[in-house]
Structure 1
Amino acid sequence: MTDKKSLRARLRRLRREHVNALPASMSALLFLRPPGAVAALAGEGSVVGLYHAISGEAPTRSYAKWFAENGRRIALPWFAAVGAPMQFRAWNDPFADEGLETGPYGALQPSADAEELFPDVAFVPLVGFTEDGLRLGQGGGHYDRWLGANPGVMALGLAWDCQKVDSLPTEPHDMPLRAVITPTRLYGDI
């Protein structure tokens, strides 16, 4: 089995090549709305944690719009500084980036005065995943720590099909996902 650092580099390269080969208008269409079984997990009035995609990550904007139009509140990760614990804060208008600012890790995040929210369901970015829900993240451990501290939150991954691998090196703190959604398939128990 490969070490995490070299595996991340290989999977990021594959993801970048895959995304670069798609017409720009196509990538958002592939994640236009959540599958019915996934949407049902986040009932009306629930809080849905998403991420603002960067560097070829599976896009979340269309999911954010769909959930907002269907009575769910949207929250994005928020960091006060590099190394600070991750929180989720309200993203009140997923149809625009107003109210968002560049966070310490380069991703857009809500402003510091946005309401802190606690997602019922959290869509988690990833670099790689296995069919049984193991996840290789960016390497900072933010989601693993947050999910470990919030065990009642259902964690779902969004990924491109090229990010699926047969196995991943794991550590005791790695938090598995309930399911992973790709453009062609839903992996997991939903």
Structure 2
Amino acid sequence: MAAPHNPPPSDPPALVAAKADLRERLRALRAAPPSPAAIAALCRRMAAHVRAVLPPGADVAAVWPLPGEVDLRGLCAGLHEGGYGVLLPETPPRGLPLCFRRWRPDAEMRPGRFGTLYPDGAMARPDLVFVPLLGFDRRGFRLGYGGGYYDRTLAELPGVPAVGYGLSAQEVPAVPVGVYDVPLPVILTERDVILV
């Protein structure tokens, strides 16, 4: 979800600048589309993770892809076929958490904020949230798009597992972190399961 960033007041200017610089470098890396093999491997790993931690019937929050993002449509279809509920986010006005709507293969997709699409299904609470990222490190810290939507959303879903996902090329030595940054307990790539 691309959105302008208004950092928390406690983030010093140097941290804001470091995050903005890293975002710019990581966006440039996404200019080349990921290989279908890497996306397929990542989606298999994500599906295996869901099956390992949740029973069929549970609701999994995923993401409909924006240009340059990992395409999870195959994962969504596979989870649906496997008996899982699939939820996709609707981006609300700035400052609010995401809301998740039920997706089915025949769902009508509606245009949302920042070029996103969301299904016309009913709202539901996820049992697991897949969190997109621009970059991540081995400590579990992620760099998002800067809008704070997932930070607010995860704060509203205590006890719901959050799993970051991305391609191994998005790994950086260290994501700059501030007072409010919380690491993800799990990050999945096409090559790795990173447990924090």
TM-score range, shorter chain: 0.7 to 0.9
AA at the equivalent of 1:109: Y
Q: CA deviation at 1:15?
A: 2.6
Aligned-pair identity in percent equals 33
Whether 1:31 aligns to 2:42 is yes
Distance 1:35 1:79 in 2: 24
Distance 1:134 1:70 in 2: 31
Number of equivalent positions: 180
Which SS does the other structure have where 2:76 is aligned? helix
- TM-score between both structures, scaled by the size of structure 1: 0.85
**Mapping for residues 54-65 of structure 1, pairs under 5 Å:** 54-65=66-77
- TM-score between both structures, scaled by the size of structure 2: 0.82
2:12 corresponds to which residue? none
Instruction: Give 4+ residue runs of structure 1 displaced > 6 Å after superposition.
Output: none
Task: Please tell me whether the aligned partners of residues 42 and 48 of structure 1 are also in contact (alpha carbons under 8 angstroms).
Answer: no
AA at the equivalent of 1:92: R
2:11 corresponds to which residue? none
Which SS does the other structure have where 1:12 is aligned? helix
Distance 1:85 1:32 in 2: 25
Using CA pairs below 8 Å that are at least 6 residues apart, which structure has the higher relative contact order?
2
Whether 1:170 aligns to 2:185 is no
2:4 corresponds to which residue? none
Task: Please tell me whether the aligned partners of residues 48 and 73 of structure 1 are also in contact (alpha carbons under 8 angstroms).
Answer: yes
1:136 to 143, 146, 150: 143
2:98 corresponds to which residue? 86
User: For residues 7 and 87 of structure 1, do their structure 2 counterparts lie closer, same or farther at Cα, with a shift above 3 Å needed?
Assistant: same
1:99-137, Cα deviation, whole Å (9 max, x unpaired): 1111012111123xx211111111111000011211100
**Mapping for residues 68-83 of structure 1, pairs under 5 Å:** 68-81=80-93
Distance 2:145 2:139 in 1: 19
Tell me, which stretches of 5 or more residues in structure 1 are unaligned? none
1:105 to 99, 111, 114: 114
AA at the equivalent of 1:9: E
Q: CA RMSD in A?
A: 2.1
User: For residues 180 and 103 of structure 1, do their structure 2 counterparts lie closer, same or farther at Cα, with a shift above 3 Å needed?
Assistant: same
Task: Please tell me whether the aligned partners of residues 131 and 164 of structure 2 are also in contact (alpha carbons under 8 angstroms).
Answer: yes
Q: CA deviation at 1:27?
A: 5.0
AA at the equivalent of 1:181: L
AA at the equivalent of 1:4: K
1:35-57, Cα deviation, whole Å (9 max, x unpaired): 53442112211100001111322
1:15-71, Cα deviation, whole Å (9 max, x unpaired): 323x26x3xx44542334235344211221110000111132222112211211111
Tell me, which stretches of 5 or more residues in structure 2 are unaligned? 1-14
